[in-house]
A and B are shown apart, each in its own frame.
Chain A
C-alpha cells in the first residue's frame, strides 16, 4: 500500500512520542487532517490558532515535553506567531507545523501564501521548509531535537501541501532516523575564551564572598535539575531569591529563601541581591523586569552564571564567570566540589531577613472581594499538585507573589518574557491535556480573558474540568496602575466599564459561572467553585483601583521600591 506524505509526517510525530496536537484546519493542511482522521494521535480543535500555540505551550510547560501546534498557511500561520515568540522568550520546546501553498506556486503570492519561514525566523530557535517528501522524517526529527535540547525553544516546519499529498509507493523505502544532528548546532558550547575550570574558580569566589546570594530561574526545571539545585542550596544555605519562572524550585519553608525578585519582588529579595558581593545565577536570563536598572543591579557583586545558552550571558550586566552546561551535571559538580570548610554566612542570612517585608495591602474597605486575599485563599484551597496558569497584568503579579508555596515549579505557568495577554486560558487547556486528572486553574484579568475568550468552546468540547478565574477590575489594570503612578492619573483607554456579562458568556458556552462580588462570601464561594464538577467560571468583582506593591518603577534600581501611591 502506498503511503502519503501526511502519513509519513504523523508516523514521524508518533516516533517523537507525540500524543496530542493543538490545531486548526485549512486548505493547505487538509491532507494532514485527512491522515489525522484515523490516527492514534489526539487532535484538539482550538478556536483560534493563537490558542493552539498557547495550548501547546501550556502542555510543554506543565509536562516538560515538546508541545505541537498545527495551522494552515497564510492567516493560520500568522495567528501562531505570538505563541511562537512567547516560547522563544521563555525557552519553551514547541514544534509548530504550518501548511504552505504548493511548492510550484510559492513566490507567486498565491491564495493564502505567506512567507512563514521568513516571518518566524527571528522568533524561532530554528525553522525550515520541507522540500522533499522523503526528507520529512529527518526534518521532523531534527525539529524535535532542536526544540528540546540546549535551551529549549520553538521550531517551525513549513510544509508545502504537495509534499503531504504525494504518495510513495514503497513505504519501506522511507527512512526514519533513530537519532539526528543538525550541522552547526552544539547546544551547550561554552563561549569562546571562557574559563576552562569554572567550578574551581567559583569555589574560590565563594570562599571569599561575605554576602553571597543565589538566584533560581526557569532553567532549573527545564534542565530537570530541581533536586540537584535544592540539594546544593540546602548545603550552601546562602540567601536564595527566585524569578517568576523559578517559583516553587525552593521550598518556602527554607529559612534562606527570600521570595521573588524584581519589579514586584519582595523587599528582602531585592535588598539582598542589591547588597550581595557574589550572585550565583541558576538558569535565569536576568530579564530587565528582574534586574531593574542594569547599572545598579547587584552593583557590588561578581556574577557567576550557570546557563546552557551563551546568548543569555551578559545580556544586561556583564557576567564574571559563565558556567555553561547542563545544570543537572554542573549543579552536581559544584555540590560535590564544595569544600567542607565553607565560610559561615549565618550573620549575612540574618541580615537579609532582619527587616520584615512590609505588611501587604489587602485592598479591603470597599466591601468587594480583595484580589490578593482571594488569591491567597485560592492557593491555600487548591489541590497540592494543582497547575495554575496566569495571564498578564496585575493579577499575574499578585498570583506570583503568592506562588512560592507550590511544591513544584511546573505548577506555575505564565507568560514571562513576552508578557502576552490571552495566554492563561489556552495554556490551561494544554496543561489539562498533559495531566487530565490534575486540577487546573486559569487566572486572567478581564482584559486578557477577552483575548482568547473563544477557547471556552474548546474547554466545553473536550469536557476539560478547568476552573476559570477572572479577576474583574473593569480596567486594563496594570496599565491603569502605571498611568496612575507615573502618568498623573491620566487614564487613557484603559477603562473596561462596559465589559460583557462574563457569567452569561460562560453559560452560553455551557460552562456554569459563579459571581463573587462581596468580600464576606469569598471563602464560601471559592469552596463552592472549586468543588463544582467539571469546568466552571468564577468572576471576582474586585475594587477597580487596587495596585500591585511593592513596585520598582521601570528603569529604577531594585532598592527604589514604591509601597503606595503618592497622596494627592
Chain B
C-alpha cells in the first residue's frame, strides 16, 4: 500500500444514464472521499451521458472509486483518463 505516496492529478471518464440523481452520485463518489474536484465536464453522448472528472488522489483511492462507481445505479462504464486529456480538461474554460 502506498500510504506515503503523494496524491497525483488523475481522473475518470464515467458513462452514465442521466436518470434522477445519477450525476450527483457520480460526483459524490469523489467528494465523499474528501477529494476536491478540480475539473468536471459532462455532456450527452448518444443514449447516455459522459462525465470527465479530474481530482488529486492516490491510486488506491481511485481504484476504490472505480469499483464503487461500477456498482452505482445509473453508471454504465468507468475508465481512467489519459494524462494529456487531463491537461485539456483543466484548461478547457480558459
Interface residues of A (CB under 8 A from B): 117-118, 121-122, 125-129, 146, 150-151, 182-185, 189, 191-192, 295, 309-311, 313-315
Q: Tell whether, in the assembled complex, residue B20 and residue A122 are in contact, meaning their CB atoms are under 8 Å apart.
A: no
Chain B residues with CB under 8 Å of A184's CB are 16-17, 19, 22, 48, 73-76
Q: Tell whether, in the assembled complex, residue A192 and residue B78 are in contact, meaning their CB atoms are under 8 Å apart.
A: yes
B50-90 contacts to A (CB < 8 Å): 63-64, 66-68, 70-79
Given contacts A182-B19, A184-B22, A314-B63, contact A122 B28 (CB under 8 A): yes
The complex places the Cα of A310 from the Cα of B54 at a distance, in Å, of 22
Q: Tell whether, in the assembled complex, residue A146 and residue B73 are in contact, meaning their CB atoms are under 8 Å apart.
A: yes
Given contacts A191-B67, A310-B70, A311-B67, 19 further A-B contacts (CB under 8 A): A118-B24, A121-B24, A121-B25, A122-B32, A128-B21, A182-B73, A183-B48, A184-B19, A184-B74, A184-B76, A185-B73, A185-B74, A189-B71, A191-B70, A192-B78, A311-B70, A313-B67, A314-B63, A314-B67
Size of the chain B interface, CB-CB below 8 angstroms: 27
Q: Tell whether, in the assembled complex, residue A310 and residue B67 are in contact, meaning their CB atoms are under 8 Å apart.
A: yes
Chain B residues with CB under 8 Å of A311's CB are 67-68, 70-72
Given contacts A121-B25, A121-B28, A128-B21, contact A183 B74 (CB under 8 A): yes
Chain B residues with CB under 8 Å of A125's CB are 73
Chain A residues with CB under 8 Å of B32's CB are 122
Interface residues of B (CB under 8 A from A): 1, 16-17, 19-22, 24-25, 28, 32, 48, 63-64, 66-68, 70-79
Most buried by B among A118, A150, A311: A311
Number of A-B contacts (CB under 8 A): 63
Q: Tell whether, in the assembled complex, residue A315 and residue B19 are in contact, meaning their CB atoms are under 8 Å apart.
A: no
Q: List 19 A-B contacts (CB under 8 A).
A: A121-B21, A121-B24, A121-B25, A122-B28, A128-B19, A128-B20, A146-B73, A150-B71, A182-B19, A183-B17, A184-B76, A191-B67, A191-B70, A192-B70, A192-B77, A192-B79, A310-B67, A311-B67, A314-B64
The complex places the Cα of A128 from the Cα of B19 at a distance, in Å, of 9
Shortest 10 CB-CB distances between A and B: which pairs?
Answer: A183-B17, A184-B17, A184-B74, A311-B71, A126-B73, A128-B20, A311-B68, A185-B73, A310-B71, A310-B67
The complex places the Cα of A183 from the Cα of B67 at a distance, in Å, of 18
The complex places the Cα of A117 from the Cα of B75 at a distance, in Å, of 18
Given contacts A121-B21, A121-B28, A310-B67, contact A295 B76 (CB under 8 A): no
CB within 8 A of B70: which of A146, A183, A189, A295?
A: A189
Chain A residues with CB under 8 Å of B25's CB are 121
The complex places the Cα of A126 from the Cα of B67 at a distance, in Å, of 17
CB-nearest residue of chain B to A187: B71
Interchain nearest-CB distance for B27 vs A (Å): 10
Interchain nearest-CB distance for A496 vs B (Å): 34
Q: Tell whether, in the assembled complex, residue B1 and residue A295 are in contact, meaning their CB atoms are under 8 Å apart.
A: yes
The complex places the Cα of A191 from the Cα of B78 at a distance, in Å, of 10
Interchain nearest-CB distance for B11 vs A (Å): 16
Chain B residues with CB under 8 Å of A128's CB are 19-21
CB-nearest residue of chain A to B3: A295
Q: Tell whether, in the assembled complex, residue A315 and residue B70 are in contact, meaning their CB atoms are under 8 Å apart.
A: no
Chain A residues with CB under 8 Å of B79's CB are 192
Chain B residues with CB under 8 Å of A129's CB are 20
The complex places the Cα of A311 from the Cα of B72 at a distance, in Å, of 9
Q: Tell whether, in the assembled complex, residue B64 and residue A182 are in contact, meaning their CB atoms are under 8 Å apart.
A: no
The complex places the Cα of A192 from the Cα of B20 at a distance, in Å, of 25
Chain B residues with CB under 8 Å of A191's CB are 67, 70
Chain B residues with CB under 8 Å of A310's CB are 67, 70-71
Chain A residues with CB under 8 Å of B22's CB are 184
The complex places the Cα of A358 from the Cα of B84 at a distance, in Å, of 60
CB-nearest residue of chain B to A188: B71
Chain A residues with CB under 8 Å of B63's CB are 314
Chain B residues with CB under 8 Å of A182's CB are 19, 73-74
Interchain nearest-CB distance for B13 vs A (Å): 12
Chain B residues with CB under 8 Å of A185's CB are 73-74
CB-nearest residue of chain B to A309: B71
Chain A residues with CB under 8 Å of B20's CB are 117, 128-129
Chain A residues with CB under 8 Å of B17's CB are 183-184
Chain A residues with CB under 8 Å of B70's CB are 189, 191-192, 310-311
The complex places the Cα of A313 from the Cα of B28 at a distance, in Å, of 19
Interchain nearest-CB distance for B72 vs A (Å): 8
CB-nearest residue of chain A to B27: A121
Chain A residues with CB under 8 Å of B73's CB are 125-126, 146, 182, 184-185
Chain A residues with CB under 8 Å of B1's CB are 295
Chain A residues with CB under 8 Å of B77's CB are 192
CB-nearest residue of chain A to B64: A315
Most buried by B among A125, A127, A184: A184
Chain A residues with CB under 8 Å of B24's CB are 118, 121
The complex places the Cα of A444 from the Cα of B48 at a distance, in Å, of 49
CB-nearest residue of chain A to B77: A192
Interchain nearest-CB distance for A1 vs B (Å): 32
The complex places the Cα of A297 from the Cα of B68 at a distance, in Å, of 22
CB-nearest residue of chain B to A183: B17
Q: Tell whether, in the assembled complex, residue A127 and residue B71 are in contact, meaning their CB atoms are under 8 Å apart.
A: no
Chain B residues with CB under 8 Å of A146's CB are 73
The complex places the Cα of A295 from the Cα of B66 at a distance, in Å, of 21
CB-nearest residue of chain B to A125: B73
The complex places the Cα of A128 from the Cα of B68 at a distance, in Å, of 19
The complex places the Cα of A314 from the Cα of B70 at a distance, in Å, of 14
Chain A residues with CB under 8 Å of B66's CB are 192
The complex places the Cα of A295 from the Cα of B3 at a distance, in Å, of 11
The complex places the Cα of A363 from the Cα of B10 at a distance, in Å, of 55
The complex places the Cα of A551 from the Cα of B15 at a distance, in Å, of 45
CB-nearest residue of chain B to A189: B70
The complex places the Cα of A183 from the Cα of B74 at a distance, in Å, of 6
CB-nearest residue of chain A to B49: A184
Most buried by A among B1, B25, B67, B72: B67
Interchain nearest-CB distance for A306 vs B (Å): 15
The complex places the Cα of A304 from the Cα of B44 at a distance, in Å, of 38
Interchain nearest-CB distance for B65 vs A (Å): 10
